[in-house]
Structure 1
Amino acid sequence: MGEQSSDGGEKAAKAVKRTAAKRASTAAGSAEKAAAETPAEAPAGTSAEKATAEKATAKKATAEKATAKIAGPVKKAAVARKKPAAAPEKATAPVRKAAPAKTVAPQPPADESRTALVRRARRINRELAEVYPYAHPELDFDDPFQLLVATVLSAQTTDLRVNQTTPSLFAKYPTPEDLAAADPEEVEEILRPCGFFRAKTRSVIGLSKALTEDFGGEVPGRLEDLVKLPGVGRKTAFVVLGNAFGRPGITVDTHFQRLVRRWRWTGETDPDKIEAAVGALFPKSDWTDLSHHVIWHGRRICHARKPACGACPVAPLCPAYGEGETDPEKAKKLLKYEKGGFPGQRLRPPQAYLDAGGKPAPPLGAG
């Protein structure tokens, strides 16, 4: 039994050795075959790999170039789009800084108190009183009747035209009784140069009849009586009361309305409301002279279309400074009193109203 086991073990060991030897031989043969094949195939494989690598590299370079071409303008466009985004910020800053420069002259604050308004209005009147010390009605008259008729005729025409017309009218009809009995056609012919001569003829003949019949041929000295006469309103009545009877009144004509709104004394447009608003700013004793000062200034300097701001004595007190010509030399050419002047004028040269920097100087004598 023991011998048989020993023989079996030896047989198994020999079988294992044979198997291992066969495997080793097979492996060696495969290695030799691989070694024999490798030298012939290696060069071809290396060349192909290089060619493929070069082609891939070329394609990659081409793709990168194409990408660069496309990416370049995109980046530039992106930068270009960013610039406009930043532009409004740059443009906004100077506008905000420049906004205060719009104020070219001292202007009353939006919330100007009543006291400040009264003081400013009275300073303007004092300055105008220095400039126009002999301001008066620019209609020629010898008595209240002539002033009443001349004032009615001055509607929609100039005082100069009225002054050229009334001498012949009063020479032929010197009293209310004479004019009340006049032939309308003859009066129309005299008044034709004044414009609206038919309507004005009816007014002057009508008021002459009313004076003759109701007031004994005398012009009444009360407002309530004057406004009852044909063609006579509050403006005409105040002209007569202030200049023929010495009773204070405010004359709200077109010049007066324009200037008091420019000066922001009132925002009213109705003549009666303007009269009340402005009258509340001044003592009653100043009303008649105030009317003359404002009207004279409106006719000579503060014109409707192009005021001569550069020659205005009240420029520092005017909220509307800059609406007209501010250059002193150019403004001087706009002054209507330069053509012939007028009695009693005491106007300072335009330069006297400006400081060294060319801006409006404080009014002389204003306190």
Structure 2
Amino acid sequence: MIKIILLIGIIFSYLMSVGQSDSSKRKEVRETEKFYKNLQKISRKGTMFGQQDALAYGLNADGSRWIGEKNRCDVKSVTGDYPAVIGFDLGHLELDSTKNLDGVPFIDIQQLIIETNKRGGIVTISWHLNNPLNPAKSTWDKQDSTIKNLFSNKEAVELYNSWLDKFSSFLKSLKDKNGKIIPIIFRPFHEHTGSWFWWGANQCTTSEYIALWQYTVNYLKNDKGLNSLIFAYSTDVFESEQSYLERYPGDKYVDLLGFDYYQRNAPASNEDFVKNMNQMIDLVKRLAIEKNKLSAITEMGLEKITESNWWTNIVFPLIKNQGLCYILLWRNGRPDHYYTPFKGHKSEHDFIKFYQQPEILFLNDIKKLKR
């Protein structure tokens, strides 16, 4: 009789834990769906402005760097408002480093994401992870057949799984004041149509890339129960629908369609940049409508913003009334490597004009839309 009672107790406890787990999963899925619908609502009103590492570091008026100053942001110093979208990278999380590949402590990234969410902002994450076949090799160490060899190597798969475990644990630590996991736009294996990463076009076949993407999504969702992610498919430059979708992992595995494209050698490149950008925006926008997905320019910029009127002359006409969810400018990393103006920069006044356009949404704009 005692054994039967104990057995019943064990079964009851198990069923309760499963019920609680399923209930938590459903709640998390509902929160992510709510987050996604809110992004769709915002996209109908305008395009959110975003920047990578906007809260982690930046540049002073004399061009020197500032790092880790609370509530500071170059965009805010110019406009008085924060970007609506903030980007972060989790590269080196897989190596148990205390800092990411750009030297930002992970504990700071965690806090900045929580603060951004509390302010009403949106967070997107990239992950320049090292090579799971050889962790000493970085994202940029091109190693042919990595993905093919990964899935034929049990130890390598186990190592990759352990990296996904760390990634999942970090994402699950991002909670709001009510204890809910913060939804994040996650952009894995980006710029895959280029060949500068180990997952790039010359380093793997189409089927291998798709297999890696699908495996990663399934592991995070099914094995780790992580349901707080919006998955962003993000190519580099492309010329056609065929080239854009060549390595597309399927509608089931993607929530947002985007691409990365930088302008170089302005103003000589202005005409070509605008032409190419318009073609790519039109194609991605059409595909997003057909597939009922969000669309975005997931990375863009002109290094050092060498054109003082770049914001109103180039950027605004490109994205006006396009229905894009957001654009993400790259980081203000060094005096020779920055993508948004800081106080005293020659494009500062033009950026303020850009900021004042009603179709361009910063933090205060989307906070109003969420009400």
TM-score between the two structures when normalised by the length of structure 1? 0.23
Query: Which structure's CA Rg is the greater one?
Result: 1
- Normalized per residue, the structure richer in helix is 1
- Normalized per residue, the structure richer in strand is 2
TM-score between the two structures when normalised by the length of structure 2? 0.22
Q: Which has the higher contact order (CA 8 A, sep 6+)?
A: 2
